[in-house]
Amino acid sequence: MNVIPVMDVKEGRVVHARRGARDQYQSVRSDLCPGDDPIEVAQALLRYTGARQLYLADLDALQGKGLQTAVLARLRTALPDICLWVDAGIRRPDELDALLACFAPSPQQLVAVLGSESLSSLEALRGCLARHPACALSLDHRHGQPIDPAACWSSPQDWPERVIAMNLDQVGAEAGPDLGLIRQIRSHAPDAHVLGAGGIRDDADLNAAAQAGAHGWLVASALHQRRLPPAS
């Protein structure tokens, strides 16, 4: 199982995501490092997991306050060999262009995450994928329902190779992974590379996720609390 560590960054600091209530997130408390500086937290997460990828949710951008370009620049400089998965609340292709500009001239260092909660239309999804085929699509879900103004969920023929099953109710909730969501997405796109997000508590959860068809999982709390073992 591919574990991708996650950071949620708000106003330049790492915060603890919980059930998608972004206005209530508080500074992260981690057993891996003191403080909430993005570079220190990122390095601690990567050191603990041995991962070569890091997922960043730019909460300022997701809430319409603009990209945290200074944070992205610092991370790129400090972690030149790490691929950054960035969810910046992209609605349209021009907003993807702004994110890509932050990674020039090394777009291979970026996997832009397109969230179904943010995209304005299927045409926007198609336009983004035409610009940057390496995008991943986050299929967002809350309270048992898709968050999907662009109708991405009902158009699997438009999904990219990498798809994230994002149940916001599970994020930071330590309630176990939503395996049904993994199975649902796999049933619509059996050849997709599916990653889950939220709810992982321990190795048993990761094993169950793998059996459900997940290729990887986005994890934060279980790493900060050392409930998953470190990389050997």
pLDDT tens digits, 146-157: 999 999 999 999
Whole-number pLDDT of residue 65: 93
Reading the block at residue 222, the tokens are: 């279980």
Q: What is the pLDDT of residues 16-72, one digit of tens each?
A: 766 555 566 678 889 999 999 999 999 999 999 999 999 999 999 999 999 999 999
Q: Is 52 helix (H, G, I), strand (E, B) or coil?
A: coil
Domain extent listing, the chain: 2-224
Whole-number pLDDT of residue 174: 72
Reading the block at residue 137, the tokens are: 């699509």
Spatial CA neighbour of 54 closest among 34, 39, 70, 36: 39
For tokens 């993807």, name the residue.
Answer: 96
Per CATH, the architecture of 2-224 is what? Alpha-Beta Barrel (3.20)
- What global pTM score does this model have? 0.94
Reading the block at residue 214, the tokens are: 């997940």
Angle of helix 38-49 relative to helix 69-78, nearest 10 degrees, comes to: 40
Whole-number pLDDT of residue 81: 95
Q: How far apart are the first and last CA of the chain?
A: 14
Whole-number pLDDT of residue 171: 75
Q: Regarding beta strands 26-27 and 110-115, do their DSSP bridges make them parallel or antiparallel, or are they unpaired?
A: unpaired
Whole-number pLDDT of residue 58: 96
Instruction: Kindly give the parts of the chain with pLDDT less than 70.
Output: 17-25, 172-173
